[in-house]
Amino acid sequence: MLRGDRLPFGPAHRAHAWVSHAVAAAAVVCASPLPVREDLSPDWQSRLVISAAAAAALLLLRRRLPVTTVAATVLVVWLSVPLGLFNPGVVLAVAIAAFTASRTLTRRQALWLTLPAGVLVAVAGALAAGRGAMQYLLLVLLFGALGDLVRVQREQFLAVTERAERAEATREALANQRVAEDRLAIARDLHDAVAHQIAVINLHAGVAGSALRERPDDAEHSLAVIRQASRTVLTQIGDLLATLRHPDSPGAGPVGLAQLDDILAQFRAHGLDVTVRRLGEARDLPAAVDVVALRVIQEALTNAHKHGAEHRAHIVLEYYPDRLHVTVTNPVSAGAGAGPGAGAGQGAGHGGGHGLVGARERVESVRGTLTHGRRGVSSWELDADLPTPTSRPAPAPASTPGSRP
């Protein structure tokens, strides 16, 4: 932190410095004819003005050498006593030097400098005037106190400025972080909106291409599925864009496990046999956890549909008092590894694993954990553990067609 006069030295600062030098020199010189005692009249001798001008010249060094300037002006005061040149102007020079030193030094250092200087000036004044000169001591101490006050105010101002700059930098960093989080959320929502439908389109496009000549009925069915999936994905993207343009718009409504039956119906319509088992007492979940649970299931079923064997998957929802545990399993071929085509949880096998990366980030955003990998010889499993606060029980959801007891 800059203290006192140790501030950036620019044109405005140089102009201010020269003005302050001129004012200080004029004050010292103008004070030189003043009487040193009440019973004397002003003395306009040129030699007094010269001695005061010498002390004023020393003040030019007070910003660069504050301690040296105080000592030099005190020395001028003591030299003026035997020469008969003692006058209030040289005392004022000591006071101005003490003011500048107090602006630059710490309070303890300024006190140890100003107090001895004031005492020495008072003693010199007593010797010159032949009686006590307590007013000179008070003058030096007053200027020293004023300098300390200016220093404290300057430091407080700089501290406030620094805090404001730090707060501004923090706000900018938070703004950048929010932008990054918003971009990540948009990427997740876009993936959730199109990943499954694009996978369905890709799958049935291959079927239609291979069955076009020999099995036209199958090709026609696949093309119908492609048309339906295309309309669905366009609708979902439209809803997402509408929400981005108008955040307050209702959009497609709240997302959560209440829509699980609709998601399952879509997968079943595309040939994936999905069963669901619910354990524990179902209850209302926090909105964030509700969305994450649905998106994790959707991602797992999408990968099971694309890479799993036997076109089936099983979901288990376990409601605990303080958490929700989601498990999605699907068969995989016995010879498949953890690479592409391994199952619902593979990382590198599905578009570089962006879906699972997004699912993991969603789970971690609610302080949960997500694991996935092969279980046994021919099964792939995805587990998500989502902590939830205790909520009031909700009516048990209706059984899903095809659900296991």
Over the chain (405 residues), the average pLDDT of each successive run of 10 is 45 71 84 71 76 86 89 90 85 90 89 90 84 83 91 90 88 79 70 70 78 78 80 74 62 73 85 91 87 89 85 93 93 60 40 69 89 87 88 46 41
In a domain, 5, yes or no: no
| Domain stops at, among 140, 168, 196 | 168
Query: Do residues 162 and 22 both lie within one domain?
Result: yes
Query: Do residues 265 and 141 both lie within one domain?
Result: no
Give me the pLDDT at residue 167, please.
87
Rg of the chain over CA atoms, in angstroms? 43
In a domain, 345, yes or no: yes
Find the farthest-apart pair of alpha carbons in the chain and give their distance in angstroms, rounded: 131
For residues 76 and 79, give the distance between their C-alpha atoms in angstroms, rounded to a whole number: 5
In a domain, 248, yes or no: no
Residue 342, domain CATH: 3.30.565.10
| Domain stops at, among 109, 144, 168 | 168
Q: Terminal CA-to-CA distance of the chain, rounded, Å?
A: 71
Query: Do residues 262 and 371 both lie within one domain?
Result: yes
DSSP 279: E
Give me the pLDDT at residue 385, please.
94
Amino acid at 362: R
Query: Do residues 153 and 302 both lie within one domain?
Result: no
Amino acid at 255: V
Query: Would you say how long the chain is, in residues?
Result: 405
According to DSSP, the β-strands at 312-320 and 273-279 are: parallel
Name the strands in the sheet holding 369-374, side by side, starting at the edge strand that comes first in the sequence: 273-279, 312-320, 323-331, 379-387, 369-374
Give me the pLDDT at residue 149, please.
93
In a domain, 229, yes or no: no
Give me the pLDDT at residue 252, please.
53
- pLDDT above 90 covers a percentage of the chain that reads 18
Query: Do residues 147 and 275 both lie within one domain?
Result: no
Give me the pLDDT at residue 369, please.
93
Query: Do residues 19 and 164 both lie within one domain?
Result: yes
For residues 297 and 291, give the distance between their C-alpha atoms in angstroms, rounded to a whole number: 10
Give me the pLDDT at residue 266, please.
82
DSSP 34: S
Query: Do residues 262 and 367 both lie within one domain?
Result: yes
Token pair of 152 as six digits:
């404290």
Query: Do residues 164 and 273 both lie within one domain?
Result: no
Query: Do residues 48 and 144 both lie within one domain?
Result: yes
For residues 395 and 281, give the distance between their C-alpha atoms in angstroms, rounded to a whole number: 9
Token pair of 198 as six digits:
């694009």
Query: Do residues 129 and 267 both lie within one domain?
Result: no
Tokens 């605990």 correspond to what residue? 320
Helices (H), 246-351: 260-269, 287-307
In a domain, 269, yes or no: yes
| Domain stops at, among 168, 183, 208 | 168
Give me the pLDDT at residue 347, please.
40
In a domain, 102, yes or no: yes
Query: Do residues 162 and 260 both lie within one domain?
Result: no
Give me the pLDDT at residue 244, please.
66
Q: At how many degrees (to 10) do helices 88-104 and 134-211 cross?
A: 30
- pLDDT above 70 covers a percentage of the chain that reads 78
In a domain, 357, yes or no: yes
Give the domain range for residue 404. 256-405
Token pair of 272 as six digits:
């994936």
In a domain, 181, yes or no: no
Query: Do residues 15 and 161 both lie within one domain?
Result: yes
The tally of domains found in the chain comes to 2
